[in-house]
Amino acid sequence: MMDGPFIPGDDFVLFAGTANPALAEAVARELGVPLGGCRIEHFPDGELSVRLLESVRRKEVYVIQPTAPPVNDMLVELLAFADACRRSAAARVTAVVPYFGYARADRRRRREPITASMVAALMQTAGIDHVLSVDLHTPQIEGFFQIPVDSLSAVGPICDALAGTLPADLAVVSPDAGRVKSATEFAHRLGAPLAIIMKRRESGTHTEVTHLVGEVRGRACLIVDDMISTGGTLVSSIHALREAGAREFYIAATHGLLVGDACERLQEAGVTRVVVTDTVRVPQREWSALRVVSLAPLLAEAIRRMVHRESVSEMG
């Protein structure tokens, strides 16, 4: 629910890219506005064409487009949208990118690019003036931009969805060092102790647990992460926790990419429940353990505040 009425002026337009139309429609419904008309096509050679079907001259434009798989296509589509808006004299372009692809390429490793920084540069060059995202993989990604970036937290909506469904003897587990801050917030909200796993990434699909800090014996564990891609991180976390005597496993992650056989891997690992949000289009699966929480109300409230010049960072 929004904190107040949304009263858009004539100068407000909300567009949806093709990455997650269901989320864009849900945000539009929350705001009580129609989605702007546009035509997105692929030519036979794979090139993309974006055409705005309405004027954006001097308007405040919002484009909802997570850069989710296929990441490169969705990214180029967002850039093309921004370029079309800029060349059509939009007053301001805000990219609503609930999931920011390439966020994990956020530091220099030997002879590798910092792709997240390159993506930030591309977005600005294309004409994006402001970025609204959710649970950015690391806060330093904001520093790759010279424009304002607001990153919302999904901890509140996920905790609300989990309320009353978790056992009393719960421990919240961070599956790596990078997730300790948000795991601490989950633990605080749920009134549960915290355990921390340290991992080493061996490849894109395989991680090794090196340490486990905290008491999990006999407990149910809620493992929290920003994203589930292949599920490798969570499966190796579950193995380590089971070896340490944990008895049941719950998962909460903001971005449910669930690529390939991730759902099957988690199912085989014996997960009781997986809660993800709709920042990306979650693959349709017949799996009763999987629950998707919509962030449309959160995103709509953030857009309402931006349009009404209210603080987004105070949303908590």
Q: Closest separation between CB of residue 179 and ligand R5P, Å?
A: 6
Give the footprint of ligand R5P on residues 183-202 (CB under 6 A). none
Q: Closest separation between CB of residue 92 and ligand R5P, Å?
A: 32
How far apart CA 72 and CA 58 sit, in angstroms, is 29
Interface size with ligand R5P, residues (CB under 6 A): 14
By the rule CB under 6 A, 283 interacts with ligand R5P: no
Give the footprint of ligand R5P on residues 84-113 (CB under 6 A). 104
Q: Closest separation between CB of residue 222 and ligand R5P, Å?
A: 15
By the rule CB under 6 A, 299 interacts with ligand R5P: no
Determine contact, residues 294/27, Cβ cutoff 8 Å: no
Give the footprint of ligand R5P on residues 226-265 (CB under 6 A). 226-233
222 versus 306: smaller Cβ distance to ligand R5P: 222
By the rule CB under 6 A, 178 interacts with ligand R5P: yes
3 versus 208: smaller Cβ distance to ligand R5P: 208
Could you tell me whether strands 170-174 and 220-228 are parallel, antiparallel, or unpaired per DSSP bridges? parallel
Q: Closest separation between CB of residue 176 and ligand R5P, Å?
A: 6
Which region among 2-10, 114-122, 139-147, 175-183 touches ligand R5P (by CB under 6 A)? Answer: 175-183
Nearest to 183 by CA among 212, 155, 218, 211: 155
Catalytic entry in 59, 92, 199, 265: 199
Site string for ligand R5P, 48-87 (x = CB under 6 A): ----------------------------------------
How far apart CA 43 and CA 244 sit, in angstroms, is 54
Determine contact, residues 48/105, Cβ cutoff 8 Å: no
233 versus 279: smaller Cβ distance to ligand R5P: 233
C-beta atoms surrounding 282 within 10 Å: 22
59 carries an active-site annotation? no
Determine contact, residues 63/17, Cβ cutoff 8 Å: yes
Q: Closest separation between CB of residue 105 and ligand R5P, Å?
A: 11
Annotated catalytic sites, by residue? 199
- Which residues are near ligand R5P by CB under 6 A? 104, 175-176, 178, 207, 225-233
